[in-house]
Structure 1
Amino acid sequence: MKILYMVDYYQPQIGYNEYYLPSEWSKLGHEVTILTSDHYYPFPNYADTAGKLLGPRRQKSGTFKQDKITVIKQPMQFEIFTRAVFGGHESVISKIRPDVVIVNKSSSYNSFQAARLKSKYQYKLITYDAHLMSGYNAVGNIAFKDFVYWLYRLIVSRYMNNRVDKYIAVQEGTVDVMTNLYGQSPVLHIPLGTDPDRFRYDGTARRIIRKKYQIPMSASVGVYTGKIIPTKGVSILYEAFGKLAKNNPKLHLLIVGSGGDEYIKHCESLVDSVYLNRIHLVGFKETKELYKFYSASDFGIWPLEESTSMNDAAACEIPFIANNEVGVKQRFKNNNALKYLRGDSSDLANKMQFLINNPKEAKNMGIRGRDLILSELSWNMIANKYLDVIADDMEDSLSKTLNWLEEAQNVTSDGGVSAYHMIIRGWAPSFIETTGYIISTFLDAAKYKSNKKYLKLAQKMGNFIASNQLSIGGYRTYTRDQVELSEPTIFNTAQDIIGLVDLYLATNIKKYLDSAQLAADFLVTTQNQDGSWTKYTHNNEPKTYHSRVAYALLKLYEVNRKSKFKRAAIKQLDWVISKQKKNGFVTNAELPVAKYPHTITHTIAYVAEGLL
């Protein structure tokens, strides 16, 4: 399957879901393309935080390869609310022709472009989001944002809801944001995950990191990973450490991340200077290095904002502490973490003290955390859930289609399938040609759904076709009570052979094979010397889409091995090829009715299908 993943900013060095999800889809064998801007995410205090690892925000635009994934970076035109605006969506989509488009940030410009182009390029569309109201209220002009999203709900939401196949929220709290703030519905919750192969406990790494930062092996070590900024609540962690440091001389903190000097100085002012040597600022580290710092620690702490680092820590078998208003409940469900009263440094200190005093329970919590990751929260599982959403939609569509076809058969009294339905006139009589197609469809449905009902319905169709066979072997278009086109037709006869052969192979009932062979004899005896058919065709004209007649003859030959059917098929296919132009176009493929005076793709597809 071809997957196009759209994201405003892409920085694989740090990880995040925009790195792991496409990577997992690629590992599953799908062809993945990432469309993004040529800028990194505008992290707060960029130069002092992520910039120390990533370098300049602006990157080179163009097309790049990352393992088996194609990454297309487009020049960013401008950004608003940490959403990048760039162009080139249609040129990329028209080139790769994706089966599914998945967009990170459901209210972004990318989402709108993907929705706008969906009907033209016929792909499934998923958009997902991770925003929480806590983050929405933390920064920026709230009144202005409220106005913008009011306009979005008023103008854009209905348009999007009519085009997006699935909205996904990665956190429980995000469901409310998408529903109430963005006006999107319905919203499905699929959590974020982690990579348990990358994030795992490593005893050697534990010893190396502790030695490097002069931390005794007997020490209790807490770890925080992420940006050192006020919205992350790092100052609350410092304050809690300050309350514990005196009575816990073996307590150390690893702070893996970067921040502005002013805020770091504020954090340090909350701790007696004599204990600051037990707080180790190690700077930003690439994602591939983080497991070493979790392995060196005994528990993790994320005081305010949600973080997938909680999953990473759990995968490394350490418990963690988060605030009691956290929007992701699934990460705690295995009794593998603690919650403290949001913003209360004393309560955070109490939770840290509990883990220090109960190392055995802390270890067991870590083991339970790893079990939770392996059973529910690996990126492999999460990536599959996104594709399962599409599969569920396809399954639903398949069931509705089969139900409609079954109804089209039930309304007839002869076992055939109605030709069509019109609102005023209702159902048409059974159509012999398409009933032959539908036999094969229902046989496939019987296998796929393990439901013998479809086999029985296919047999009713086969009995109907056999009962309508003319003495010369061919099949007319309509049933006996229809005066129009009462003679047999070459193309329609062949399509019924296809269904009958499939039905014989499924049931081993000889009458279906006998009927197919009689029909094939009719085709052979009416074939022209050059391999074409003119008798029993519309206006007595040869058609290149009779390559599907050759296909039916070859299908029967594979069963009864009668060489006359193979010879007739090859003669027809040779004739078809003789009608092909140098540019690939095939003549004599037009439908013989006034409303279709020229060749159309419908019949060209028949030509190609028969040749294949």
Structure 2
Amino acid sequence: MVGNNSNGRPKKVVVLIGYFDTFSGYQEIGLARSLAQDYEVHVITSDQVNPIFTDEHLGRIGQPRRYTELTGKYCDANIIRLPSRHVRAMAFNRRVGSTLAALDPDIVIQMMPGQIMPSLATRASGGKPRAVIFGDNRAMWAYLSPFQQKVKEVVFTLTKGLVYWLTVRKAAVVLCYTQDTRNRLRKFFSGVPSHLLPLAFDDEIFRYDQRLRDEVRAEFGFTESTRVFLLVGKYKREKRFEEFIEAFGELRRGGSDSRLLVVGPSLEQLRGVLDSSSLTGGAVIVAPFADHARLNALMNAADVGIWPAMPAITIQQAMGSGLFVVINDDDLVGHLVQDDRVGMKILGLADQSPEQMAQALDSAVRRLAVSSRQERASINHWLSIDGLGRRVIDLLANPGETRES
């Protein structure tokens, strides 16, 4: 599967997806960039921006809702945008099959078949090796009552479920962003082997850098012996930031030379828990949300990062910097830590008391000596954009049996 054809040219890979917005940084953008390092890559997509982006957001970045240039390049990948009809987040174009057939690819990758356009090309794939990739679809179920979920499951099975089944049939492999998605959709996989393909971090931005680490630690006055914990993300009560700050206070009361770096929430949002805690003397530093370069620098400066609840791409980004991570052992993020040298996954972390969290932090600090920062960053390379294309192609070549990783 990997390398050149018998005629010596690079193998041709076609990626089909309803929306391909390079400004988004989404998984499909990283996959096209990664594959283009080794293959001739063509992306067939619609001529419209993903409706998830509001007009206000597009106005701020100067991006029209509909693309006027229907062909172009992105990191050596060839982009073909077909004029399409759109209903909610679904794109329709009758020419997608003939466009695929005309390209005569060696490999076909259908991303987000629920966007319909990728699924329309299934029959035109000509029996070529196909990978079907599903994103995280839990949002459509999150706020439904148990009864509403049952009704939706029936409707979903008879509509998009049928589309999924027809798309996956005779594919070589199915790839899912999370175990949660895999569990929900497994009944539509027709026995096709399935694997996990987590969201990838951009390794051109998020990486271990000792110089950055030294500079930022000096900026905040951290000594070499200071253990720095990182809490990052937009403020939401469900993320349990308050409980973690209490846990950090417990650790400090035990005599730990440590600091807490909070990136994202404002001081006002955290004032209540900070005022009621015994944390003083710069023990907690609240930093504004940063651009990616600054965020990578802050991640390099820290020693341990914790995500008490809710998944976030910042976990993978932190792992790219070699940060030791503490995450919940669930079907949304538990698969990210596959080597105990790079982090800890704790069953029920989202429900732990501050005292229990403090014990977890203490355990994480003691485990830092097991591996170096550079070693952790190297182990985590499988989660990077650089490794993304190879992982897809390798799983296409050797799909094997369904695995949990």
Alignment partners' CA distance in 1, 2:161 and 2:179: 25
Say which SS state the counterpart of residue 33 (structure 1) adopts: strand
User: Scaled by the length of structure 2, what TM-score is found?
Assistant: 0.73
Confirm or deny: 8 A CA contact 1:179 1:187 kept in the other structure.
Answer: no
Alignment partners' CA distance in 1, 2:245 and 2:221: 16
Alignment partners' CA distance in 2, 1:265 and 1:252: 17
RMSD: 4.1
Higher share of residues assigned helix: 1
Change (3 A) 1:226 1:305: same
2:33 aligned with 1:23: yes
Q: Please tell me the residue identity of whatever aligns with 1:127.
A: V
Match in the other structure for 1:384: 390
Q: Which has the higher Rg, Structure 1 or Structure 2?
A: 1
Alignment partners' CA distance in 2, 1:185 and 1:179: 9
Say which SS state the counterpart of residue 36 (structure 2) adopts: helix
- 2:72 maps to which of 59, 64, 78: 64
Alignment partners' CA distance in 1, 2:177 and 2:118: 16
Change (3 A) 1:354 1:162: closer
Alignment partners' CA distance in 1, 2:236 and 2:328: 17
2:13 aligned with 1:7: no
Match in the other structure for 2:371: 364
Displacement of 1:292 after TM fit? Answer: 2.1
Confirm or deny: 8 A CA contact 1:90 1:117 kept in the other structure.
Answer: yes
Change (3 A) 1:246 1:39: same
Displacement of 1:272 after TM fit? Answer: 2.6
Confirm or deny: 8 A CA contact 2:40 2:77 kept in the other structure.
Answer: no
Alignment partners' CA distance in 1, 2:115 and 2:143: 18
Confirm or deny: 8 A CA contact 1:34 1:72 kept in the other structure.
Answer: yes
Instruction: Render the CA deviation track for 1:132-155: whole Å, top value 9, x for unaligned.
Output: 65x554246645632332213774
Change (3 A) 1:344 1:137: farther
Alignment partners' CA distance in 2, 1:342 and 1:197: 31
Alignment partners' CA distance in 2, 1:53 and 1:348: 40
Change (3 A) 1:159 1:19: closer
Instruction: Render the CA deviation track for 1:450-481: whole Å, top value 9, x for unaligned.
Output: xxxxxxxxxxxxxxxxxxxxxxxxxxxxxxxx
Instruction: Render the CA deviation track for 1:352-407: whole Å, top value 9, x for unaligned.
Output: 34445x3x726737455334224x545444422322344458xxxxxxxxxxxxxx
Match in the other structure for 2:246: 242
Change (3 A) 1:221 1:125: same
Alignment partners' CA distance in 1, 2:16 and 2:113: 11
Change (3 A) 1:326 1:163: closer
Alignment partners' CA distance in 2, 1:368 and 1:92: 45
Confirm or deny: 8 A CA contact 2:101 2:125 kept in the other structure.
Answer: no
Alignment partners' CA distance in 1, 2:311 and 2:184: 15
2:103 aligned with 1:100: no
Instruction: Render the CA deviation track for 1:1-26: whole Å, top value 9, x for unaligned.
Output: 22222334445455343222211110
Instruction: Render the CA deviation track for 1:111-137: whole Å, top value 9, x for unaligned.
Output: 321224334xx644321123365x554
Displacement of 1:51 after TM fit? Answer: 7.7
2:166 aligned with 1:156: no
2:137 aligned with 1:126: no
Q: Please tell me the residue identity of whatever aligns with 1:272.
A: D
**1:157-196 equivalent positions in 2, closer than 5 A:** 157-180=164-187, 182=188, 184-192=190-198, 193-194=200-201
Unaligned segments of structure 2, at least 5 residues: 1-10, 400-405
Change (3 A) 1:207 1:55: farther
Higher share of residues assigned strand: 2
Confirm or deny: 8 A CA contact 2:174 2:189 kept in the other structure.
Answer: no
Match in the other structure for 1:251: 259
Displacement of 1:27 after TM fit? Answer: 0.5
Alignment partners' CA distance in 1, 2:361 and 2:46: 41
Q: Please tell me the residue identity of whatever aligns with 2:41.
A: E
Change (3 A) 1:153 1:7: closer
Say which SS state the counterpart of residue 138 (structure 1) adopts: coil
Alignment partners' CA distance in 1, 2:83 and 2:214: 45
Displacement of 1:38 after TM fit? Answer: 3.0
Displacement of 1:30 after TM fit? Answer: 2.4
Displacement of 1:289 after TM fit? Answer: 5.4
Displacement of 1:338 after TM fit? Answer: 1.8
2:301 aligned with 1:293: no
Change (3 A) 1:372 1:280: same
Confirm or deny: 8 A CA contact 1:130 1:169 kept in the other structure.
Answer: yes
Unaligned segments of structure 1, at least 5 residues: 394-612
Change (3 A) 1:266 1:378: closer
Displacement of 1:198 after TM fit? Answer: 4.4
**1:107-506 equivalent positions in 2, closer than 5 A:** 107-119=114-126, 123-131=128-136, 135-139=139-143, 142=149, 145-152=152-159, 155-180=162-187, 182=188, 184-192=190-198, 193-194=200-201, 198-210=205-217, 214=220, 216-217=222-223, 219-229=226-236, 233-234=238-239, 236-245=240-249, 248=252, 250-256=258-264, 269-272=272-275, 278-283=284-289, 285-286=291-292, 290-335=295-340, 336-340=342-346, 341-346=349-354, 347-356=356-365, 358=366, 361=368, 364=371, 366=373, 369-374=376-381, 376-392=382-398
